[in-house]
């Protein structure tokens, strides 16, 4: 299944809906279906997002580190240094980071020393540093920038473990298993961190659709044992301008709270932060630590000569906060999908109502794409203006 097919299907795989409808028949996996339930369900009543151009408070750009063959998690040698590479998560870094951090730490444990350096202070770097600390390492983070000035801070940040992750034709069985292991670890760890300290909460996501079969949608990469219950709401049971809507629980992560909390935990455990930019591999060899976890994201392209690494340009437009909005949405009534842009999505956070839906391949520009901004905002305006009282459906 290629990226265009996933987008055409409705983009639901990109938000982490775990099902096996795309699996080969030979795999003999059970086909996930929307639960059967009594038809007399009370209609869902939702407050409307006040989507309007005069409520826009900012637009941000984030360059996601994408590798068509998937993220890198492996050990290499640089002179007398052991380098554990942990980068290239695409749009899945906030979701997968605890899993790949745990696996990177397992690789580091093979070294006899218990002093380590972590390069990078985004979510991959912070979770790697915390995992090392939990296993007895004294850790120093070396980074050119720290939160709130990292790419991770520019994330919409829901549970999206398959977002911008891998080109399906380049997958291998070994990488698939590595990915599924990371998903299992990360999903459990994030659930244990829910609460105000880390800014992680569960909310309900609604995906408006005119296609009842969309409720079967999913991503063959996801492990069978990761539950993601969902219900297909019938006409009259939801307020959206579509025939159906898919309802499911979604994990929400507020990046500014989450990353600050991870940094505070790291410092409380005796961690140190050094502001430093690495220009060449020779710079890396000057570190006193012999165990180094590389979480430099896009920086690894030049620093470690990764020709496959490229940005997926993400763009978020944020509306003024609405405390009464406690649900998210994926897709819209007539949301256009282009080769450069995907389905739209809305996530409410304390710092604003976040509107997204942009993923431009191999674009290094940090300039706002006005066409994309207009597409995302206008399509959300259309969606929320067309929401109606369930009594009128």
> Considering the chain, what is the average pLDDT of its residues?
87
Instruction: Determine how β-strand 272-275 pairs with β-strand 81-87.
Output: unpaired
Mapped onto helix, strand or coil, the DSSP state of residue 16 is coil
pLDDT for position 12: 38
Ramachandran angles phi, psi of 26, nearest 5°: -65, -20
Tokens 């191999």 locate to: 362
Q: Which residue has the higher pLDDT, 1 or 309?
A: 309
With cut-offs at 50, 70 and 90, classify the pLDDT of residue 32.
low
State the Cα–Cα distance between residues 3 and 355, nearest whole angstrom: 21
- How much is the average pLDDT of 73-99? 96
Q: What is the pLDDT of residue 166?
A: 86
Q: CB 285: neighbour CB atoms within 10 A? A: 12
Q: Which of 248 and 13 is assigned the larger pLDDT?
A: 248
pLDDT, residue 389, reads 59
Residues in the chain: 393
Question: What's the pLDDT band for 37 if we cut at 50, 70, 90?
Answer: low
Q: What is the DSSP string of 182-202?
A: HHHHHHHHHHHT-BTTTTEEE
Cα(357)–Cα(369) distance, integer angstroms: 12
The lowest-confidence range among 18-22, 71-75, 157-161, 204-208 is 18-22
The tokens for 208 are 């408006």
pLDDT at 30 over 80: no
Asked if residue 218 has pLDDT above 50, the reply is yes
What's the pLDDT score for residue 15?
Answer: 38
pLDDT at 342: 62
Q: What pLDDT sits at residue 287?
A: 97
Q: What's the DSSP call for residue 351?
A: T
> What is the pLDDT averaged over residues 352-357?
97
Res. 87: pLDDT tops 90: yes
Average confidence (pLDDT) over 237-243: 94
Q: What is the pTM of this model?
A: 0.86
pLDDT at 335 (0 to 100): 52
User: Residue 88: pLDDT above 50?
Assistant: yes
The pLDDT of 336-356, averaged and rounded, is 81
pLDDT at 76 > cutoff 50? yes
Which whole-number Å values give the CA distances from 12 to 18, 121, 207, 343, in the listed order?
9, 30, 8, 9
Residue 164 scores a pLDDT above 80 = no
**Residue 27 or 245, more confident:** 245
Q: What is the torsion angle, in degrees rounded to the nearest 10, for the CA atoms of residue 132, residue 134, residue 136 and residue 141?
A: 40
Distance CA 293, CA 120 (A): 9
Domains (range + CATH), the chain? 1-35+48-393 (3.30.9.10)
387 Ramachandran zone, left/alpha/beta (phi>0; psi -120 to 50): beta
Averaged pLDDT, 281-300: 96
> In this structure, are residues 86 and 124 in contact, taking their beta carbons and an 8 Å threshold?
yes
Give the tokens for residue 32: 């996930």
């Amino acid at each position: 299944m290629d990226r265009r097919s996933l987008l055409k299907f409705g983009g639901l795989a990109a938000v982490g809906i775990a099902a096996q409808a795309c699996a080969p028949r030979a795999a003999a996996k059970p086909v996930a279906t929307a639960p059967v339930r009594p038809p007399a369900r009370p209609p869902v009543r939702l407050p409307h997002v006040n989507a309007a151009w005069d409520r826009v408070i900012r637009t941000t750009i984030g360059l996601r580190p994408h590798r068509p063959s998937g993220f890198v998690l492996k050990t290499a040698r640089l002179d007398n240094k052991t380098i554990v590479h942990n980068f290239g998560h695409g749009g899945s870094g906030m979701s997968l980071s605890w899993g790949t951090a745990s696996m990177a730490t397992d690789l580091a444990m093979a070294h006899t020393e218990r002093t380590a350096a972590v390069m990078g202070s985004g979510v991959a770097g912070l979770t790697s540093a915390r995992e090392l600390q939990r296993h007895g390492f004294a850790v120093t983070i070396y980074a050119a920038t720290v939160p709130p000035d990292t790419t991770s801070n520019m994330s919409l940040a829901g549970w999206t473990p398959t977002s911008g992750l891998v080109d399906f034709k380049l997958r291998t069985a070994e990488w698939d298993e590595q990915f599924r292991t990371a998903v299992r670890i990360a999903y459990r760890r994030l659930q244990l961190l829910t609460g105000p300290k880390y800014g992680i909460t569960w909310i309900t996501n609604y995906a408006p659709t005119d296609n009842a079969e969309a409720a079967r949608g999913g991503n063959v990469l996801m492990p069978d044992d990761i539950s993601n219950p969902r219900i297909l709401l019938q006409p009259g049971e939801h307020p959206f301008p579509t025939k159906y809507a898919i309802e499911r629980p979604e994990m929400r992560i507020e990046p500014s709270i989450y990353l600050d909390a991870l940094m505070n935990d790291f410092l409380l455990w005796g961690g140190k932060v050094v502001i430093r930019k690495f220009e060449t591999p020779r710079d890396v060899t000057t570190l006193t630590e012999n165990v180094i976890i590389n979480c430099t994201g896009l920086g690894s392209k030049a620093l470690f000569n990764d020709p496959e690494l490229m940005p997926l340009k993400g763009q978020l437009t944020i509306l003024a906060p609405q405390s009464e909005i406690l649900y998210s949405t994926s897709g819209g009534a007539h949301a256009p999908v282009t080769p450069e842009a995907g389905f739209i999505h809305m996530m409410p956070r304390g710092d604003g109502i976040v509107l997204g839906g942009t993923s431009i391949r191999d674009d290094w520009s940090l300039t706002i794409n006005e066409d994309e901004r207009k597409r995302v905002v206008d399509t959300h305006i259309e969606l929320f203006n067309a929401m109606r009282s369930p009594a009128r459906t």
